[in-house]
Every structure is written in C-alpha cells, then in structure tokens.
Amino acid sequence: MNKIFLNEALKYFSIGSVVASLMAITGCGTGNASNSSSNHTSSNSTSVSSAAKKTEIANVAYAGSLQLVNDEFAGPTFTKATGLKYQGRGGGAFGVANLIQSGEITPNVFESMGTAPFEQMGSKKPTWAIGFASSPIVIAYSPNSPYASKLKAIASGKLPLTELFSLMEQPGFHLGRTNPNTDPQGQAFVLMMQLAQKQLHLPAGTASKILGSNTNPKQIFAEEAILSRLQSGQLDASSAYLSEAIQKHLPYISLPASMNMGDPTYQSIYSSVHMDVNGKTVSGSPIEIYITTVPGNPNQIAGEKFVSFLLSKQGLDIYQQNGYTLTKFLTWGNKADIPSSIRTEIQG
C-alpha cells in the first residue's frame, strides 16, 4: 500500500513540475512574478550605472602652484556637484608635460601656466586649451627672517623697491625660486629680474649677482614645496604667485605691473626680455592659466566634465576667491576641437 501511494505521488509531482516549467517558459504566471523580474532588471541597471560612475575619475595634472586651490577647493566641490571622483597631481608644468609625454602619468586633464608646456607633449599634445585666469609674480617673505623688518617696510612703501634688490644681493640672504628648466614660474622670475634691473635703473649685473646661474642649486626648489620651506624659516624670501601668497597667508612685496608678468596689457614690455632654456630662447609673456583635456588617456568624459566645471561660474568663483584674477577666455589651438559641452560653457 505504501509503495503504490509513493508511485502515485511521484507521478503527480512530476506532472506539476512540468506544468510549472512550461508556465515559466511561456511567460504565464502571476503578475507578482513579472514585477519581480522587472524590479530585478531595474536594480541591476542602477547598480551598473553607479559602478560605472564610481570608475569615472577626473585625473588632473597641474602646475604645482595650483595645488591648494585644486586639491582643497575645486576638486572636492567638483565631486560634490557631479558625484565623480577627483584625483590631482602637481609639479613644474614643463616637468609634468614630460611625464605625460613619456606615459609615466596618464591624466585626462592638464592645467598649465602658459601654453609652452603643451608643445613638449609629443603624441599627447592637446589640440586646444582655454585660458581663464592670471596671477602676477610677487616676492613672499618670512616674518621670522632677520631681514623681515626691512622687507615689511618695502612692502608698505616706507622703503623704495630698490632696497629689495639690495637686500637680495646680501651674501647671507636666502632666496628661493623654482627651476626655469621645468617650471614657468622659474622662467617668469628670472625674466622679472631683468625687467627690474632695467626699469629701476639698478647697477649693471644686479640680476646676475642675485641669481647666480639660472639654475643655481642653492636657490632652486620644487614648486609644490618652496613655500613650505619659506614658512619653516629655511628661506628669507621666495618667488611666488600672488594667489599662493594669499592662500598661504604669507606677507609679500608687490611688483609693478610692468614687471610682474601678470598683466596682458604689458605684453610688449614683457617680451623685450629673453633667456636661454635648454638651448632655446624664451621671451617674457603674461602669466595665464590654461586648461585642456589630454587626448587618448582614460576617462575622457570625466576629464571634460572637470574642465566644464572649472570654467563654470562656480569653478571660476573658487579661483577668484583664492586670489586669482579672472581674464576673458583665451583659446589656444583649434577652437573646432573643443568638446561641445565645454564650448557651450565658455560661450555662456
């Protein structure tokens, strides 16, 4: 009796299984089953979209002087506004250009002081860039320097600017600047010294006496570290952009617009001085921050979104609040190659 019952039960169980299978294959069944399948698909789509977004990174290489404004303000605000990650790396703009060219780093955005570094990027050379802000050269100084009282008097106008160059000539004066072979600020500082010698009618050879060689190892420091050395008291004074001095709350001496490399209306005067850099003649030019995407590197869309953000009112306000002077948008290269999203931003 038990054996017969078991056989019948198995027979009906098998038939039920087949029917259930057929219902599943033909799409028959309850509405709840259908909704469950739809919800599962929607959930998968959302998670895939979120996962894709998490892998999109705006990888930004920048001139070292832009470290604070990018890493502390622009980058975090960009992430909050877009949900995309930000990653930054700074250094002398020419040095960064060489790292990109060699493939040692693969950013999707490059922010440079001037456009000359773009020319060194080989197959990674961008075809366009947008200039949007400027910052003049100043002389930042340490309030703990033995020369601080005189430097403060020069900054306030109580002593003439010529006294600054007399001080910097002193054997015990520790001056810091960046390498002109790898950094536009280093070039701008050397060229500023030439203009100062001319315009302030300083004795012949004053610039050379102060600087030594263009790459004097006693004065050359990495751009992203030089002001930390000044703050720690290792230097009496240092070259700096005005924006850097403001951001780091350092006292500084302003220079006339005709020699500070920060005013485009003085371009003809800036271009009257020259220097040799790696066997090439470099002329003075106004300091302008340019931004572009790096062709062929990962996450191009994220890079374009970062550029669009930085050139938006929100991004430009961040730069202005950090001591940069906003300029009208300047286009370098081929305007037609600018991505439409960025072109829309700068036209607006």
Cross-strand pairs, 85: 57
Q: What is the pLDDT of residues 108-161, one digit of tens each?
A: 999 999 999 999 999 999 999 999 999 999 999 999 999 999 999 999 999 999
- Give the separation between CA 134 and CA 262, rounded to whole angstroms: 6
Q: What is the pLDDT of residues 74-93, one digit of tens each?
A: 999 999 999 999 999 999 99
Q: Is the pLDDT of residue 12 over 70?
A: no
- Give the separation between CA 202 and CA 165, rounded to whole angstroms: 8
Q: Is the pLDDT of residue 226 over 90?
A: yes
| Closest by Cα among 157, 47, 41, 110 to 289 | 110
- Give the separation between CA 291 and CA 297, rounded to whole angstroms: 15
Give the residue-averaged pLDDT of 298-302.
96
What pTM was computed for the model? 0.79
**Helix H segments across the chain?**
2-26, 31-55, 67-68, 75-82, 93-102, 148-155, 162-168, 184-199, 206-211, 223-231, 242-247, 267-270, 300-310, 313-321, 340-347
Per-residue confidence (pLDDT) for residue 127, from 0 to 100: 97
Q: What is the pLDDT of residues 23-43, one digit of tens each?
A: 333 343 333 333 433 444 444
Give span(s): CATH 3.40.190.10, the chain. Answer: 58-134+287-347, 137-283
Per-residue confidence (pLDDT) for residue 55, from 0 to 100: 73
Per-residue confidence (pLDDT) for residue 16, from 0 to 100: 43
Cβ atoms 138, 188 nearer than 8 A? no
Classify domain 58-134+287-347 at the CATH topology level.
D-Maltodextrin-Binding Protein; domain 2 (3.40.190)
Q: What percent of the chain has pLDDT over 90?
A: 81
Q: What percent of the chain has pLDDT over 70?
A: 84
Contacts of 219 (CB under 8 A, 6+ apart): 175, 176, 177, 211, 212
- Give the separation between CA 183 and CA 64, rounded to whole angstroms: 9
CATH classification of 137-283 is 3.40.190.10, yes or no? Answer: yes
- Give the separation between CA 261 and CA 190, rounded to whole angstroms: 11
- Give the separation between CA 162 and CA 147, rounded to whole angstroms: 15
Q: Is the pLDDT of residue 324 over 90?
A: yes
Per-residue confidence (pLDDT) for residue 53, from 0 to 100: 58
Mean of the per-residue pLDDT values of the chain:
87
State both tokens at 259.
Answer: 């020699």
Q: Which DSSP state fits 182?
A: T
